[in-house]
Chains A and B, each alone.
Chain A
Amino acid sequence: MSLDARLKQGLNNLAAPIDVDYELGLVRVQAVARRRERRNVMIAAFAGAAAALALLAGGGRLADMVLGIEAPLPSVDNPNVDEDLGVDETRFDEEGDGDRVVQDDELRVDEALDLSDPRQVDGGRTDIAGLANGSSDYVSTSKPAASETDPTQGKQELPSRSERFESQNYTPVNSSVATSGQATCSNGENGACFEFQARDDDRYVTVDIEDASGAPVYAWVQQNVDGDPQSDGGWTDFCASTSDPIPITPGAVVRIMLDSGTCDGADSSPTNGTITVTFLNRL
């Protein structure tokens, strides 16, 4: 057999066993695209409001400084382009209209305006990681990682932002469990339980639930840190989607519990659908 024939046959044989669930893939992709769209709308609104305030307060120069945050950055030859598989955007200049290639650095600048960063938002929210580590409050402000604020370590560069997503489907059986008050979790807690394994560099999580009925589903998020059947620490409840990224303990199991509850003033009635979890390494 020639090398060419061996390559052709060999690569086909290598790739053939790879299972692809495109239905699940499609749901994940749509959920992530929607979430990013919401985030971009928030960032644009914030930038617009900041520029307007700057104009009123300090005139053109201050507004230029604010708007300068969105100035174009160097393109493909930028030596600072991050090589990691992170959030990346490219545009294909097939139309020849001068579209530039957007690199990771530009998104890093945008992320500086991310309102979901707890350091930029007043008030607290449930910190699952902090609670699992022994905090007695159910509501607390999330603390940034020590390496980002410890003055003895000097100024450190944040890792490039990356996110990954996983999904699980639920069925009417799970839904009836969720609403009947019976339990499927080994810890005996009420609700239909779905577990997702966080990796060592996963630090935040967001959850989106797409029910076939189109109606929002009530659920809550918790973690199992020590490996015994019981969930640990605090919990965050939500309808359909979590509003902000939730800090988690890296490497520990994240539990999503479908439960009976109220969403939009009506009893939550899950049918069948998909739970998509997005893990982030940083905000």
Chain B
Amino acid sequence: MARDIEDSYEWFFRAEFPQVVRSAYLVVYDREAARDVAQEAFVQVLRHWKRISKYDKPEAWVRRVAIRLAVKVAKKQRTLTPLIEDHDTPATQGMSDPDLARAVAKLPGNQRAAVVLFYFEDRPVSEIADILECSQATAKVHLHRARKRLAELLGEEVLVDVS
């Protein structure tokens, strides 16, 4: 039985870890920090795996922890250092859309997390609310404000709001 639990955790880890690292990166914009965040989240999952493995959506649990940690890191970065300058830097070299990267980096932590979960992970608003530990109305507000801010920064028009 213990072996089954270990195997199921390894299977879960392999299935979810890469995506969690990438999602964390899109929130913190730092590869090392993203890996630290993802690893910390999976350490916590491992400690409670016997229970979490029985949930309908254990992937939501690990994302809740990872995104929460990532938002904390992102808040600290916002206060202490600019993430990406308003001109091309080594950080934006090679990016296909550096303007987008800079614009998303300027969003507050929760708005950035909502954008990542909605556009990168294709999650519905109900799951975003669950992961961000807020109401669905609040999740929609995060998305609405994020899209409005991004449109201003990128000179784009917001045509349709999220449902």
Contacts and interface: CB of A to CB of B under 8 A. Distances in A.
Contact of B46 (A2, A22, A30): A30
Contacts of A164: 36
A29 interface: yes
A11 B39 contact: no
Given A6-B156, A20-B18, A32-B43, A83 B75 contact: yes
A83 B76 contact: yes
A3 B155 CA distance: 10
B46 A33 contact: yes
Interface in A32-53: 32-33, 36-37
Contacts of A9: 97
A84 B72 contact: yes
Given A3-B157, A83-B72, A15 B26 contact: yes
A36 B120 CA distance: 33
A13 B101 CA distance: 10
A207 B47 CA distance: 20
B93 to A, nearest CB: 12
A10 B101 contact: yes
Contact of A14 (B14, B44, B46, B95): B95
Interface residues of B, number: 56
Contact of A10 (B10, B69, B100): B100
| SS of A interface (majority) | helix
Contacts of B17: 20, 22, 25-26
B144 interface: no
Given A33-B47, A85-B36, A6 B22 contact: no
A29 B75 CA distance: 25
B40 interface: yes
A22 B39 contact: no
A22 B14 contact: yes
A19 to B, nearest CB: 8
A14 B101 contact: yes
B31 A18 contact: yes
Contacts of A30: 46
A15 B73 contact: no
A26 B96 contact: no
Nearest to A9: B97
Contacts of A28: 39
Interface in B4-55: 10, 13-14, 17-18, 21-23, 25-26, 31, 33-40, 42-44, 46-48, 52, 55
In the A-B complex, the 10 residue pairs with the closest CB atoms: A15-B22, A10-B100, A20-B18, A11-B120, A10-B97, A7-B119, A3-B156, A33-B46, A13-B96, A29-B42
Interface of B: 10, 13-14, 17-18, 21-23, 25-26, 31, 33-40, 42-44, 46-48, 52, 55, 61, 64-65, 68-69, 72-73, 75-76, 94-97, 100-101, 104, 115-116, 119-120, 147, 150-151, 154, 156-160
